[in-house]
Each structure stands twice: as C-alpha cells, then as structure tokens.
Amino acid sequence: MTNIIALLLKRQHNFSAGIGLIVSLLTLGVTSMQSAQANTPNNAPADLKNLLTEIDTSASAGDVNKVMQFYSPNFVHGDGLNRQTLQQSLTALWKQYPKLRYSTQLQSWKSEGNTIVAETVTKITGLPSANANNLALNATITSRQRITDAKIVRQDILSERTLITSGNQPPQVDFQLPQQVKVGQQYSFDAIVKEPLGDDFLLGSALEESVQANKYLNPTPVDLQPLTSGGIFKTGRAPSIPGNQWISAVILRGNGITMITQRLQVVK
C-alpha cells in the first residue's frame, strides 16, 4: 500500500494489501474496574468512562509508549499477536498514518472474579496525509478485552470492517459479505460499484486469507485484473477448521481506488 499513488499514476497492477489488515489490532477500549452490580454501559463507573477517553486520546496522539502501559507483559491476542509484535505494528502504522483518530464506545462489561471482561466498538478515521500517500481510512471494530490488575491480558476481535480510499474520485462500493459462516459452508461476497463508470476502466481483485499474526507486518501482494462487469462477484467456501478470515476487495478506476476488508468468522 505504500506505493499506491505511484500505482495510480503509472497504472501498475500489483500492490500490497496489508495496511487494511493491520487495522484489526487498533481497537483499544479497556476497563480496569472492580465488580459492579450491573453490566450495562449506562451504569458503568465514571472512572471507567474516563479511562476509555484517556486511551482514545493517547491512541489519537500516536503515543505508543502510553498506550502500551495498558497492556500486560503477558498479553495475548486472538490473532496470535503478543505485546512486542503489537507495539511494533502500532509504531509502524502510526508512522505511516499520523492522523488516525479513535472513538470507543463501551457496549457491555462484567466481572469474572478479579478479571473484567469488556466489549467495545471502536471507530477509527484517518484523513489523507503525505505520510499515508493521501490514503483515507475508516474502520469499525468490535472487540472483547479481558483485564486483570488494570492491564489488558487478552484481546479478541469480534467483527471488523476497514475502508481505505485514495484519489479524487474513489469508487463507491457496496460490499456484501456475511459476518459468520459454518465450517465448510459455501458463501458469496460481492463488491458492486454503485455509480456509473462512463468511459472509466475498472481494475480489481478479491483476496481471501486466514487471519495470522505475520500478516500484520508482512502484507500479501494483490494482482489487479481488468473487470468486465461493474464490480467483483465471488463465491467462496469456508475452511474446515474454525477461525477467522480476512476477505478483501480492491477496485481501481481512472482517478481513484477503494479497498474494503471485512473479517469473516468461521464457526462449527
């Protein structure tokens, strides 16, 4: 993705799709509270709400050291990340995207002994900048955190969708994909360009890959091919083992590009 503007200018057909996947680790809603009588957001203690605000502020400022203070030395992530690889990924991403802004809403929370379990929805927006090759980013991520002694000890992504655009007129794309499928189940996903194309050409590609920790720092190349219809229409089959998949669609037209990545849960 680092050469996406050059791609647009030179009409090259190959680039890396990894930045859209890195966003998965950027949901930072946490709690560090003791047990309470109810687990609804409305009844959450004031200091919990303040903590969420503080984390959003630190993440929006790109303060990696401050953000990492909320993570346990033994932190584990459902995608296979640990504390070290999380910090490395955040540092690299915030260097490239210096204008990311975070807004986290608490959805639910409960106490399990001395551990707090919190589910949050984080919205991330990134305005175009020179560092990011003028890419704009919007992501919505739902996650679950387990917190012990005011430190995040585990984090799992429940759902996510990331939109990255570039150019003067990126295609408006309707992306249709289920949130969850069963092992071995056949499913379809479509990425339909909504506006008339006129004389513009379309290039595009779809990418299906399992969620793995090494994909955060080692993105997968994508080969863009001419599209003969107004979008991408694919049929996939879920793997035979439960897990998570990243499903991406990339569509390029003469003066813009759109990339959408969504997480697909594969369950028994």
The verdict on 74 and 132 lying in the same domain is: yes
pLDDT of 51 over the 50 cut: yes
The verdict on 188 and 255 lying in the same domain is: yes
Domain membership of residue 170 as a residue range: 162-267
pLDDT tens by residue, 122-143: 999 998 776 666 788 999 999 9
The verdict on 37 and 139 lying in the same domain is: yes
Which H or E run includes 111?
strand 100-112
In 40-164, which residue ranges form alpha helices assigned H by DSSP? 46-60, 64-68, 83-96
Say how far residue 183 (Cα) sits from the centre of its chain.
23
pLDDT greater at residue 8 or residue 71: 71
Instruction: Indicate the residue among 160, 180, 204 that finishes a domain.
Output: 160
* Region of poorest pLDDT, from 44-48, 181-185, 194-198, 242-246: 44-48
Answer for the pair 246, 209: CB distance below 8 angstroms, yes or no.
yes
Domain count, the chain: 2
